[in-house]
Amino acid sequence: MNNMLFIVIILLVAGTLPVFALGAQEEAPEILVSDLTVLDAGNAGGWEIREDIQAGDMQFTDRPYKIKELPEKYQGMDWIITAGDSKFFAGETLATFTVNATATIYVCLDSRIRPVPGWLAGWKDTGDAIFNDEPSPTMSKIYEKKFAKGSTVTLGQNSQSAGAINYMIIVDGPRKKTGGVAINYDWYLTPEAARIGDNYLLYQRSIGGWPKDIDMAKKLTDRDIKLVERGKMFQDATIDNDATTSQIMFLSKLYTATKQGRYKEGVLKGIDFLLEMQYDNGGWPQVYPLIQTKNYQNNITYNDDAMLSVLLLFRDIRDGHEEYAFIDRERKQKIKTAIDKGIECIINTQIKVKGVLTAWCAQHDEVTLKPTMARSYELESISGSESVGLVQFLMEIKRPSPAVINAVQSAIAWFEKVKIMGIKINEINDAQGRDRVVAKDPEAPPLWARFYEIETFRPFFCGRDGKVKYSMAEIERERRVGYAWYTGTPTLLLNELYPQWQKQYAPDKSVLK
């Protein structure tokens, strides 16, 4: 046997050599990002692809703000500077661009924007943040998603909020770095990081979790602190809108950097809260303690990736990410068990129609596991949105069981069956204000409805009156513009992620022609 080949085999068995070292390396392109198209015609000139992002750079082309604090992990990456006024854009798609190598895209979104825009469903909250140099610095939370070489990345609207700044885009790919980047904790040693961490601890409820939709990074007055302290006993801890998971991620990095015991204590209390709130069947409710009367917040909640955010955090802890190294072995074992139970819950809640598995509802009854309704306009259905994150999570299981493979195959087949061709969603402004309309367009990429009838797979819409409609135009304007009724996110599954997964795990069972 060739000596070099023998050495490579030994290293592979020992787990010290990455498997990809044996295959062809993806060639690093000269230009990582290209074909930037901005649909906000009035401000398109303010968008530019740039290199080497650093603290001190201008945050926007039309604002005086500078990036004051940027975690070192992101320094030196390519980025897209945007126009601040693009935050007012009303269209569904604000911009697109192409990545010329496998890349991780980071969206830096103003933390005051709640809920997070629907187009960011499936993006992971990194727990990192950027701060600018405004008199009261704005914190932008960083969300990430990986895209394959040649992918078109689609960016939606910021939220049209006058009280928030526009987002920024950072791009990490082989043009800048070919290996993984260790976390640099310098920023977490700053007084500003400690101030935010102490705020997080102040907002942490006695039970261990956090409430949602609060700007916990803002500077607090003495009066504010007293008011927050009074809320310690509130029963409003939740996993909705990244609450609890995002605080745990931040505090973990803060403790790893500072070794200040109060941050570790906050993390462990938060983890214990997440472990305690999990149902025996593996699901997570939206809130805990449970509401005593029948309430949709007690349901197993896939809506807005609530349960998924817990599973992704737990997976990072289980897989040994460095910022969680301090977590004790006993908790890590409980976390591993919780992940296994969570996967089992996902498998057991997949909706079967006429004997065939499809996808999932945005929420499932915590006792029967059947699909169920939440708010008046969120009826029992199959979700063309929340199901995407669940499928992607199942695809990322390294040694999938036959049940997981079957779940993925079935969901992919369902997505292919119910895709909607020939329409696009236009944002308009008329005498009554902003509106959304469906327009015919034979060249439009496929879309999927947020809700499908379970037996017929017919897309439907629903206003606050709770009545089913089969056209978005039939529901009230407030609901048309205030909810994400269509999504294009399954495209990534069908066109890129699934074909790669299928070759590895089900080479003889592709459900796509």
Per-residue pLDDT of 185-235, as tens digits, reads: 888 898 988 999 999 999 999 999 999 988 888 899 999 999 999 999 999
DSSP one-letter code for 228? H
Domains identified in the chain, total number: 3
25 assigned to some structural domain: no
Nearest to residue 55, comparing CAs of 64, 65, 66?
66
Does residue 273 sit in the same domain as residue 236? Answer: yes
Residue 210 lies in a domain: yes
Residue 19 in any domain: the answer is no
Instruction: Give the mean pLDDT of 153-170.
Output: 87
Residue 131 and residue 116 share a domain: yes
Report which secondary-structure segment, H or E, holds 389.
helix 386-395
Percent of the chain clearing pLDDT 90 (strictly above)? 61
pLDDT reading at 4 higher than 70: no
* Together in a domain, 245 and 172: no
Q: Where are the alpha helices (DSSP H) in 205-244?
A: 222-230
Asked if residue 98 belongs to a domain, the reply is yes
> Are residue 51 and residue 85 in the same domain, yes or no?
yes
Please name which of 363, 361, 457, 350 lies closest in space to residue 410, comparing C-alpha atoms.
350
Mind listing the pLDDT tens digit for each residue in 434-475?
888 999 999 988 999 999 999 999 999 999 999 999 999 999
Of the ranges 3-12, 93-102, 489-498, which one carries the lowest mean pLDDT score? 3-12
Does the residue 389 lie in any domain? yes
Spell out where 2-47 has E strands: 33-38
Domain end position, chosen among 347, 371, 389: 347
Residues 329, 402: contact at Cβ < 8 Å?
A: no
Residue the block writes with tokens 């509802």: 361
Q: Using one digit for the tens of pLDDT, what is the confidence trace for 7-61?
A: 333 333 333 333 333 334 456 677 888 889 888 877 887 898 888 898 888 899 8
Whether this prediction's pTM lies above 0.75 is answered by no
Write out the residue range of the structural domain in which residue 430 sits: 350-513
Mean pLDDT score, 261-289: 98
Check if the beta carbon of residue 446 is closer than 8 Å to that of residue 421.
yes
d(CA 426, CA 442): 14
Question: Where residue 404 sits, what CATH number does that domain have?
Answer: 1.50.10.20
> Strands 451-452, 382-383: parallel, antiparallel or unpaired by DSSP?
antiparallel
Mark whether 176 and 211 lie in a shared domain: no
My answer on whether 140 and 212 are in the same domain is no
Q: Is residue 110 part of a domain?
A: yes
440 with 357, same domain? yes
Q: How far apart are CA 123 and CA 121, in angstroms?
A: 6
Same domain, 281 and 320: yes
Domain for residue 22, yes or no? no
Residue where a domain stops, chosen among 149, 181, 213 = 181
Going by their DSSP bridges, the two strands 78-81 and 139-147 should be labelled as unpaired
365 plus 488 within the same structural domain:
yes
Q: Looking at the chain, how many residues does it have?
A: 513
3-state helix, strand, coil in the chain (%, to 5): 35, 20, 40
Pair (381, 507) in one structural domain: yes
Token pair recorded at residue 247: 């605080």
Same domain, 195 and 308: yes
Residue 477, H or E segment = helix 477-481
Token representation of residue 355: 């004997």
304, 326, 347: which is the final residue of a domain? 347
Q: Are residues 406 and 487 in the same domain?
A: yes
| Domain assignment present for 191 | yes
